[in-house]
Amino acid sequence: MDVFDAIRSRRSIRKYKDKQVPWDNIVTIMQAGKYAPSAGNLQNWKFIYVKTDEKRKAIADACLHQEWMEIAPVHIVVVADPAKMERYYGTRGARLYTIQGCAAAIENMLLTAHSLGLGTCWVGAFDEDEMFRILNLPEEKIVQGVITVGYADEAPEPPPKYRIEHIAFAEKWWGRVEFPRTHLGWWSAGNKKIVDESKKLLKKAGKKLQEHVKRKLSKK
């Protein structure tokens, strides 16, 4: 699965099979989180994996009673250390860079799990105090999100996403260009792939034709 296919086909999964996730998959997913970019490469995150029934139930309750979470055999809780970022980048680091780095780590983990045939859901709705209590967190940390992981027991329809023209502007806010064929409505990574492959095929066919003509001429 190439990266774009993984990004496009990933879905939030809220129903899971009663099947354990191999330990090395859990480690690979956390490794993927580890390789995410972070401001100054400070990596001010920790990933707490939770496998016990009791604790997963407590987390599901803390996530505003999202009971479906209990069924997922693994939860990975992403916890940030904003103080570390603040030492280097002040308030902007503590607030913005910390959240952005953790979000990048979470997305890396979702995509890696998907590429391993696993389903996930990014859960951001939770009672912070409850999470601190359940996970014995020191005061200065911040819970950034919970990822449920397991084998999907549903195949949700892709939710609607805006067309690229609605969200991509040229050069300035609301900037529009409509050059024929380079217009974004026509362009997509999928189309580019088809064009690139067609070019390769044409090149190959051209070469074969040349060889054929050469052979015919040499016979004359």
Residues that bind ligand FMN (CB under 6 A): 11-12, 14, 66, 121-125, 159
Min separation Cβ 125 and ligand FMN, Å: 3
DSSP assignment of 76-106, as one string?
Answer: EEEEE-HHHHHHHHHHHIIIIIHHHHHHHHH
Task: Give 128 or 178: the residue with its C-beta nearer to ligand FMN.
Answer: 128
Signed CA dihedral, 9, 12, 30, 123: sign only = positive
Q: How far apart are CB 162 and ligand FMN at their closest, in Å? A: 12
Q: Which of 13/85 has CB closer to ligand FMN? A: 13
Q: Write the CB contacts of 131 (distance below 8 Å, at least 6 apart in sequence).
A: 59, 62, 77, 137, 143
Instruction: Give me the least distance between CB of 102 and ligand FMN, in Å please.
Output: 10
Please give the residue whose beta carbon sits closest to ligand FMN in the complex.
Answer: 124
Q: Which residues pair with 148 in a beta bridge?
A: 75, 121
Instruction: Select 40 or 124, whichever has its Cβ closest to ligand FMN.
Output: 124
Nearer to ligand FMN, 162 or 173 (CB): 162
Beta carbon of residue 138, minimum distance to ligand FMN (angstroms, whole number): 23
Q: Which residue has the tokens 């990048």?
A: 104
Closest approach, Cβ 161 to ligand FMN, in A, equals 8
* Shortest reach from residue 150's CB to ligand FMN, in Å: 14
CA dihedral 115, 117, 118, 119 (to 10 degrees): 80
As given in the structure block, the two tokens for residue 149 are 């992981």
DSSP string spanning 94-158?
IIIIHHHHHHHHHHHHHHHHHHTT-EEEEE----HHHHHHHHT--TT-EEEEEEEEE-BS--PPP
State which residue, 157 or 171, has the beta carbon closest to ligand FMN.
157
Cβ closer to ligand FMN: 30 or 69? 69
Tokens of 12: 């939030």
CA-wise closest residue to 10 among 102, 100, 118, 105: 118
